[in-house]
Amino acid sequence: MELAEPCAHCAVRDRALCSTLSDDELAQLNAIGHRREMERGETLLWAGDDSVVCGNLISGVLKLVAASADGREQIVGLVYPGDFVGQPYVEKAEFTVTALTEAEVCLFPRAPFERALDDHHAMERLLLQRTLQALNTARGRMLSLARSSAQEKVAGFLLDMAERAGTSACRAVPDGPLTFDLPLTRGQIADVLGLTIETVSRQMTRLKVAGVIALPGGRAVTICDRDALQARAEAA
């Protein structure tokens, strides 16, 4: 079976859950899926609604949001290209999934995708591994929020964003300073890190004054001294 055109040119084919499939199997899976382009601020799933779709994020960044009892929203996770979004075997969506940037998602109806998992055990195992990895990441984030200083939290967050920036980041010269756009506002960063927006802004300014980062404008950040940023993220 010839590999379907969208899959043949998929930017995350080697990183997404379906990377475990052969070309024939991938073409079969593609027959039940479709691509959806999302605008910034558009919601894919609402917490509490029927969990009807799941899939792979091809481009952009999504946020996972939980609502507290008093109605406030808390960002509990971010989804990057190559990550899986949605929850198979769950009847109701647990989190609201919204695009932080323009995004493209390869979506599958949940029930047919569950049947595909039953037929392709390697993909099922990879989903389990990534689910456990996400759980460990969430536990690590809880520990960080409890123990890390504001400086460590902000520095660690910028390092993670730089690593996730991928092809959207740029350097003027090889091995030079890395520049990328943050997908979150400072208020959203504060929500993720358990800080106030004033504290996030203050820490960003301190890093800038120290020459560790530069802030060219808008949401752009330049990592001028990665080693120094790493040291601040790991400071005792």
Q: Taking residues 140-150, what's their average pLDDT? A: 68
58-68 burial, b at 16+ Cβ within 10 Å, e below that, comes to bbbbbbbbeee
* Residues across the chain: 236
On the question of pLDDT at 222 being above 80, the answer is: yes
Q: What is the pLDDT of residue 141?
A: 62
Angle at 156 between CA 150 and CA 161, to 5 degrees: 125
* Percent of the chain whose predicted confidence (pLDDT) is above 70: 85
CATH class of the domain defined by 5-144: mainly beta
Mean predicted lDDT score pLDDT of the chain: 83
Decide if pLDDT at 173 tops 60. no
State the number of CA atoms in the 13 A half-sphere of 72 facing the CB: 5
Question: What does the pLDDT look like over 3-44, one tens digit per residue?
Answer: 455 676 777 777 777 777 777 777 777 888 889 999 999 999
Delimit the domains of the chain by residue range: 5-144, 148-233
Predicted confidence (pLDDT) at residue 72 exceeds the cutoff of 70: yes
- Checking if the pLDDT of 170 tops 70, the result is no
Residue reference for tokens 């980041």: 169
Average pLDDT, integer, range 152-163: 89
Q: Cβ distance 127 to 86 under 8 Å?
A: no
SS3 198: helix
What are 141's two structure tokens? 């984030």
Q: How distant is the alpha carbon of residue 124 from its chain centre?
A: 21
CA atoms within 13 A on the CB side of 43: 10
Res. 120: pLDDT tops 50: yes
Could you give the residue ranges of the DSSP H alpha helices within the chain? Answer: 5-8, 23-30, 110-119, 121-147, 150-165, 186-193, 197-209, 226-233
Report the interhelical angle of 121-147 vs 110-119 (nearest 10°).
Answer: 110
How many other C-beta atoms are found inside a 10 Å radius of the C-beta of residue 83? Answer: 19
Q: Nearest CA to 114 among 44, 35, 32, 37?
A: 32
Q: Is the pLDDT of residue 125 over 90?
A: no
Entry pTM: 0.75
Q: Which fold has domain 148-233?
A: Arc Repressor Mutant, subunit A (1.10.10)
Mean pLDDT of 144-151: 74
